Amino acid sequence: MFTEKNVEFDKARVVILPLPYDGTGSYRGGASRGPKAILDASQELELYDEEMDWTPADVGIFTLSPPELPVAPELMIDRVYSIIKGLIKKNKFVVSLGGDHTVTIGAAKAYKELYPNIDFFVLDAHSDLRDKYEGNKFSHACTSRRLSEMGRVKIVGVRSISKEEIDYIRGASPPCEIAYMKDIIVKERWMDDVIGGLSDNIYLSLDLDVLDSGIMPSVQTPQPGGFSWYGILGFLKTLIRKKNVLGFDVVELSPIQGNPAPDFLAAKLVYKMIGYKRFLKKPRNL
Ligand SMILES: [Mn+2]
pLDDT of residue 23: 80
Q: How far is the CA of 53 from the centre of ligand 1 (A)?
A: 32
Q: pLDDT (tens digit, 9 = 90+) per residue, 43-81?
A: 999 999 999 998 999 999 999 999 999 999 999 999 999
Contact assessment for residue 230 and residue 76, using Cβ atoms and an 8 Å cutoff? no
SS3 call for 270 = helix
Radius of gyration, alpha carbons of the chain: 17
Q: pLDDT (tens digit, 9 = 90+) per residue, 220-278?
A: 999 999 999 999 999 999 999 899 999 999 999 999 999 999 999 999 999 999 999 97
For the segment 108-134, the average pLDDT, to the nearest whole number, is 96
For the segment 9-30, the average pLDDT, to the nearest whole number, is 83
Contact assessment for residue 39 and residue 62, using Cβ atoms and an 8 Å cutoff? no
Instruction: Return the CATH superfamily for domain 9-276.
Output: Ureohydrolase domain (3.40.800.10)
Q: How many residues does the chain have?
A: 286
Q: How far is the CA of 279 from the centre of ligand 1 (A)?
A: 29
Contact assessment for residue 111 and residue 104, using Cβ atoms and an 8 Å cutoff? no
Q: How far is the CA of 54 from the centre of ligand 1 (A)?
A: 32
User: How confident is the prediction for the chain on average, in pLDDT?
Assistant: 92
Q: How far is the CA of 285 from the centre of ligand 1 (A)?
A: 32
For the segment 92-100, the average pLDDT, to the nearest whole number, is 96
**Nearest one of 78, 131, 97, 65 to 252, comparing CA atoms:** 97
Q: Is the predicted pLDDT of residue 197 greater than 90, yes or no?
A: no
The structural domains of the chain, with segments of one domain joined by +, span 9-276
